[in-house]
């Protein structure tokens, strides 16, 4: 069964809008796990506009499922995750001022850099995933970095699903098969939601984990966090 990791960045964004500690991020993470989340994902940005480095430290002490920390492998980010040692680190190629992730790695261009980072993280006992598009021409060089997994960037699927679901998912099916053949595990995330998730999970083989934040937290405003997480879990069965 595909695991659901809940990204709680948006909860931190609401907290930071007013200062203080409401909503309480640690309590939200614990409630999400209690309600069925099989992992917690956070993506600290350099400006710490939502998740802060201190949040990552705090969450490592209380998350009982799996903590996945996403981010660009800057010196400060690498220092943070090597100190905290989350269960998984997902490397994204975002520039510091990016609003959200919008592309996967060009592993041909950045193969040597990524190999050095992946090796360093794995030497600290951390499972590593790298954010990738569906261009399988990049997958051999991705495998040579030594990464444990790739995370498929699914915005194109989410957009295309509204027009032609079968056409939209086809590149992801092919990418999943290729990644698996090269010995890389498969995660996915970005713009997956309550409507398009089930079809994606049915059509993409070897899928291990999806990370969902914006849609899930938004839908929880109407349906409640527990109910929303359970609905998402059912889409993955």
pLDDT tops 70 at residue 228: yes
**Greater model confidence, 99 or 229:** 229
What pLDDT, in 10s, does the model give residues 147-193? 999 999 999 999 999 999 999 999 999 999 999 999 999 999 999 99
Distance of alpha carbon 60 from the chain centroid: 16
Query: Does residue 131 contact residue 151 with C-beta atoms inside 8 Å?
Result: yes
Give the tokens for residue 211: 């990370």
Using CA atoms of 211, 68, 25, 47 in order, give the dihedral in degrees to the nearest 10: -100
pLDDT band at 103 (very low <50, low <70, confident <90, very high): confident
| Cα–Cα–Cα angle for 92, 94, 97, rounded to 5 degrees | 150
What's the whole-model pTM score? 0.94
| Farthest-apart Cα atoms in the chain, separation | 48
E strands of 127-206, at which residues?
127-132, 149-153, 185-189
Q: Which residues are tagged catalytic?
A: 43, 70, 190
3-235 has which fold?
A: TIM Barrel (3.20.20)
Look up tokens 């996915």; give the residue. 188
* 185: Cα within 13 Å, side-chain hemisphere: 14
Q: Where are the domains of the chain?
A: 3-235
């Amino acid at each position: 069964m595909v695991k659901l990791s809940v990204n709680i960045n948006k909860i931190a964004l609401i907290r930071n809008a007013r200062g203080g500690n409401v909503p309480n991020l640690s309590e939200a993470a614990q409630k999400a796990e209690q309600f069925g989340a099989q992992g917690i994902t956070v993506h600290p940005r350099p400006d710490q506009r939502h998740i802060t480095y201190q949040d990552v430290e705090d969450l490592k002490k209380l998350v009982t499922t799996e903590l996945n920390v996403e981010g660009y492998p800057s010196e400060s980010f690498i220092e943070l995750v090597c100190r905290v040692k989350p269960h998984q680190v997902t490397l994204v190629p975002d520039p510091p001022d990016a609003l959200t992730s919008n592309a996967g790695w060009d592993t041909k261009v950045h193969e040597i850099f990524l190999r050095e980072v992946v090796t360093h993280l794995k030497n600290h006992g951390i499972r590593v995933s790298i954010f990738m598009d569906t261009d399988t021409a990049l997958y051999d060089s991705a495998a040579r970095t030594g990464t444990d997994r790739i995370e498929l960037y699914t915005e194109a699927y989410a957009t295309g699903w509204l027009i032609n679901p079968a056409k939209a998912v086809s590149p992801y099916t092919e990418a999943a098969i290729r990644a698996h053949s090269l010995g890389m595990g498969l995660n996915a995330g970005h713009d997956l939601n309550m409507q398009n998730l089930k079809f994606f999970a049915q059509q993409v083989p070897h899928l291990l984990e999806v990370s969902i934040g914006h849609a899930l937290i938004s839908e929880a405003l109407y349906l409640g966090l527990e109910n929303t997480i359970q609905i998402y879990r059912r889409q993955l069965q």
